[in-house]
Chain A
Amino acid sequence: MDLVEKFVTQVTEKDDVILLGAESIEQFEKLRNNAGSFCVLERKESEVQSLQKRGLKSFLVRSIDESLEFFISEIDELKLQNMFVIVNPTSSDVDLEFYQKIETLLTGRSSYSFELHLTLLGQRKIQDLKKANQLLHLNQGLAIVDRNQFSISEKHLYSILDEISG
């Protein structure tokens, strides 16, 4: 079982998945069947239209603020309990500022459990967050799944990749 599959099997209908950016949609589209809800936030209008044509729930966001507004409305209106946020970290529009804002936004809402799941390519971003001490309440060294659930050899493997990307 590869790590995408491992992650997919962990997601249940109690979980809501929000994919930031459509770049990694190929890998994560499988989640549509497992998750309670699945949607994509995307900055390119053409991408949004294409996703919608394929029957994927997707929203056009033009800025960090718009993305945040989306989160606020989802949290308040849909009462999301367990939210997975998947980012494609090579995407330039997902930056540290966004992480910080979304973290601040969600930290204050104790009734919501929040897990930020970064794809492997997000290791560099994780390093940035670590340096900025922004990973205080998030699970340490996140990859596609919570590292606490990794096997020992997976932990070694991801530590090597952390170093290389950092």
Chain B
Amino acid sequence: MKILVVSLLRIGDLILHQEIIRSIRREHPTGRISCLINDTVVAACDLIPEVDEWIIFDRKDLQKKMNQRQRWIFLPVLCIENLIHELKSRQFDQVVNLTHSVISGHFCALLKSVNTEVRGLCLDSDGKMIQDLSSVQRTQAMSYFNHQWSVEKMPLLHYTEILSLVSGYSLDHLAPTLERGKKSSVISFQILTSDERKHFDLEKWFDLIFFLKQKMPSFEMQILCSLEEANQMEKNIDTISQRKLGSAFQGLKVTACSLFESIELIQQSAVFISHDTSLLHLAARTATPIVQISLGASHIYKTSSISAGTVVLTARRSCFPCAHQGSCHLPKFECHEDIRPEDLLSAIQFQLEKNQHELLSSLSMVQIVDGLWWLQNKSQRNFSIKQALYFSLGGQLQSGQFSKGVSFESRNSESFNATIG
């Protein structure tokens, strides 16, 4: 069995896609898995051992070729044609599109044939979605993904779950894959993001570190960043420490590391605090307790850490979360005001002192929303998958029964009570 996984997004997405790739490997232990990725995510390849072959789509280079005056104008066409030719020559039995973008939809259409099944988004030449007639469930899931999930503020399924349904590869083993490191007295942070809307203010980060130093003097603080970010990070610390807190930052470590190295550092941390970034999703593979900050376009229901027991601090504004693409319509990022360093301190204390990981291992996700604990257990998650599929059939949400032992009662999609039994 030769399978191509199409993952043409960013590193964080690829890491989330790994759950599906693992499932593919479980189902086809002797199969050959190839993965088509953007050139910008090559750094993450070492993290995904289930893939036998990486095929790089050099999008940046293609863009450059398209915009250079002196280039032969059809060079970009030729580049794409060559890539398609190369992919077709591998004679894949199955293409699993985990990307859900127009580009990937057209790529898959070019690869689809009598001998190559496509799972996930596939577009016709007019850009319309091609129905997957081989599976009713996958078709329903795709319909839900396409028409509802992407616009819903409180969708019923996590991004990974919807991809699982769309691809037909189940997510039965979401437990952390890496053992917890030896008991550590290091608190690690990932404080930079590429999207300023998601970015918790640097000064607040340092206020938090100051509080932590006072409350938990036995813990070391460590900021994780990429090699490219290291200089900027050092400068930030110098500037802020000179301005307000002086010696409080003595001993604060900035560790520049690769993605691969960061796993070990997170594994050995007592707790890891992060925005919705690739490191967050990487941390979900470890058993280290996580505190996640969800601001701007970071969607708590769609792309939060899938690690059991993650505490998610979110904004409360009605405009939150904002659209994935675009910019904030307000003069300043008001949602950033919703989370204070003190809130983060409480969340960290909770993760450290209550040692809840064992306790919550049966729970899928824990979040703090508007200061309330919101728990969802696995039974409810299974239930919500059924409910999502029910929506995709065009059903109205009323009291009813899906299958033996599962009934539901609800007024709207945002609040429902499930009874399992």
Contact = CB atoms under 8 A, between A and B. Distances in A.
Given A3-B74, A164-B103, A156 B110 contact: yes
Contacts of B110: 153, 156-157
23 contacts: A2-B74, A3-B74, A27-B72, A27-B73, A120-B74, A124-B66, A155-B126, A156-B107, A157-B106, A157-B110, A158-B77, A159-B102, A159-B123, A159-B125, A160-B103, A161-B66, A161-B80, A163-B101, A163-B103, A164-B59, A164-B103, A165-B66, A165-B67
Contacts of A160: 80, 103, 106-107
A159 B124 CA distance: 11
A121 B66 contact: yes
B81 A164 contact: no
Contacts of B63: 164-165
Give the interface residue-count category, chain A: 20 to 34
A156 B69 contact: no
A92 B343 CA distance: 52
Contacts of B77: 3, 120, 157-158, 161
B125 A163 contact: no
Give the interface residue-count category, chain B: 20 to 34
A90 interface: yes
B76 interface: yes
A135 B308 CA distance: 51
Interface of B: 59, 62-63, 66-69, 72-74, 76-77, 80-81, 84, 101-103, 106-107, 109-110, 123, 125-127
Contacts of B81: 157
A156 B67 CA distance: 20
Interface of A: 2-4, 23-24, 27, 88, 90-91, 119-121, 123-124, 152-153, 155-161, 163-165
Given A121-B73, A153-B110, A161-B76, A90 B67 contact: yes
Nearest to B70: A23
Given A156-B106, A157-B81, A163-B101, 18 more contacts: A2-B74, A4-B73, A27-B72, A27-B73, A88-B69, A90-B67, A90-B68, A90-B69, A91-B69, A120-B66, A120-B73, A123-B66, A156-B107, A156-B110, A160-B103, A160-B107, A164-B103, A165-B66
B89 to A, nearest CB: 15
Nearest to B103: A163
Nearest to B79: A161
Nearest to B127: A159
B74 A23 contact: no
A163 B38 CA distance: 14
A156 B74 contact: no
Contacts of B59: 164
B66 A164 contact: yes
Contacts of A120: 66, 73-74, 76-77
Contacts of A3: 74, 77
Question: A2, A23, A88, A161 — which one has the most chain B CB atoms within 10 A of its CB?
Answer: A161
Contacts of A165: 63, 66-67
A163 B69 CA distance: 20
